Amino acid sequence: MTHKHFIQIEGHTQEQLMGLIEKADKIITSNHYQSQQLDTLKNKTVINLFFEPSTRTRASFELAAKRLAATVLNLDIATSATKKGESFHDTISTLLAMHADVLVIRHAENNKAELVVKDFGDQVSVINAGDGTHAHPTQAMLDMLTIYQHKKSFKHLSVAIIGDVLHSRVAQSDIAALKVLGVKDIRLVGPKTLLPHEVSEQGVEIHHDLRTGLNDVDVVMMLRIQKERMQQGLIPDEKDYFAQYGLTLEKLGLAKPDAIVMHPGPMNRDLEIESAVADGKQSVILQQVRNGVAMRMAILDYICN
Ligand code: NCD
């Protein structure tokens, strides 16, 4: 049997991504995400292997697998300097000796999930739950589902992605997914130190001014500011950052009146987003969390069946 994997958005077609979005949307509309009415993973074992702390992604994968009637094992393995190389490989082979159908992997280093596919991909399916600054494809897919539910089509959308684009695996995967789905106006907004220096791709633009970045957009995607970037001198202090790039109700007024506001969580209130926006009527942040379970159910089902 050949095993399917979900490692990054790149390489998937528009039809494949739309197929997952439609499947997940159906799971939501029939309320299957909140009960164990589907059993398409019965007799399958899913191991959630988290080498980096995570609350929502881990919980989301666990619930998704359980709601499809899988046997689920959750392992939180703190990374330490000594737990690298061989020991990573050994951890995986040990787990596979007990048999697993799907490994869901979160790791602080880039390309770890891909490495597992390379070494073990003929024995087990692998899903990337976030690797380093490289990719977070299931987050991107739940984001796409959320956009689809509000906007119905990707064709004529303008999307602003605001904050630390350079170090964000969420941003990398969101940009890739938006492009596959045909979005032609993607704006990356933030200070010079947190954005790529240039983009050669068509339809992707760099904005250092939040106001032009937000002008008339349909979707505002906020990213978490990692505080260690401040210590590294990549961002001014919190007050300055908030003044320039924090999303306030007033600035949100520059976007289209029906624009939606997204954030992958965890949020830093009053650093990248003010509470009036995070909890306001244009926010779809909790809907993203709900969609996460349904989208991961759709992806697990696609991988296993
Ligand atoms: C993100 C992550 O861990 O990549 N969170 C998440 O999965 N919902 C975003 C972040 O930590 O900034």
Portion of the chain with pLDDT greater than 70, in percent: 97
What's the CA-to-centroid distance between 213 and ligand 1, angstroms? 23
Rounded Cα distance between 172 and 8, Å, is 10
- Atom of ligand 1 lying closest to residue 264 CA: 8
- Atom of ligand 1 lying closest to residue 136 CA: 4
Is the pLDDT reported for residue 1 higher than 70? no
Is the pLDDT reported for residue 147 higher than 90? yes
Higher pLDDT, 235 or 295: 295
- When pLDDT is averaged across residues 272-294 and rounded to a whole number, the result is 97
What's the CA-to-centroid distance between 162 and ligand 1, angstroms? 14
Higher pLDDT, 275 or 237: 275
Q: At what angle do helices 112-120 and 86-97 cross, to 10 degrees?
A: 50
- When pLDDT is averaged across residues 19-26 and rounded to a whole number, the result is 97
Any residues with Cβ below 6 Å from ligand 1, and which? 56-57, 130, 136, 139, 169-170, 224, 264-265
Give the pLDDT confidence score for residue 198 in this predicted structure.
82
Give the pLDDT confidence score for residue 232 in this predicted structure.
83
- Atom of ligand 1 lying closest to residue 224 CA: 12
Rounded Cα distance between 304 and 86, Å, is 28
Is the pLDDT reported for residue 56 higher than 60? yes
Residue corresponding to tokens 């998937």: 12
User: For residue range 105-132, what is the model confidence (pLDDT) as tens digits?
Assistant: 999 999 999 999 999 999 999 999 999 9
Portion of the chain with pLDDT greater than 90, in percent: 84
Residue 222, by phi and psi: left (phi above 0), alpha (psi -120 to 50) or beta? beta
124 φ/ψ angles, rounded to the nearest 5 degrees? -150, 150
Amino acid, res. 70 = A
- Other Cβ atoms closer than 10 A to 122: 9
Higher pLDDT, 87 or 285: 285
- In a 10 Å sphere around its CB, with 0-12 CB exposed, 13-18 middle and 19+ buried, how is residue 111 labelled? middle
Give the pLDDT confidence score for residue 86 in this predicted structure.
63
What's the CA-to-centroid distance between 208 and ligand 1, angstroms? 23
Give the confidence band of 294 by pLDDT, cuts at 50, 70, 90: very high
- When pLDDT is averaged across residues 253-280 and rounded to a whole number, the result is 97
Q: At what angle do helices 137-151 and 285-304 cross, to 10 degrees?
A: 120
Mutation to probe ligand 1, out of 106, 142, 224 (largest number of atoms < 8 A from CB): 224
Higher pLDDT, 223 or 200: 223
Nearest CA owner, ligand 1 atom 7: 57
Rounded Cα distance between 289 and 64, Å, is 12
User: For residue range 69-98, what is the model confidence (pLDDT) as tens digits?
Assistant: 999 999 888 755 445 556 788 889 999 999
DSSP string across 28-94: HHTTGGGS----TTTT-EEEEEESS--SHHHHHHHHHHHHTT-EEEEEE----TTS-THHHHHHHHH
Pair 172, 135: CB distance under 8 Å: yes
Q: Show Cβ contacts of residue 147 under 8 Å, excluding neighbours closer than 6 positions.
A: 154, 157, 159, 219, 260, 262
- When pLDDT is averaged across residues 13-29 and rounded to a whole number, the result is 97
Mean pLDDT (the chain, rounded) = 94
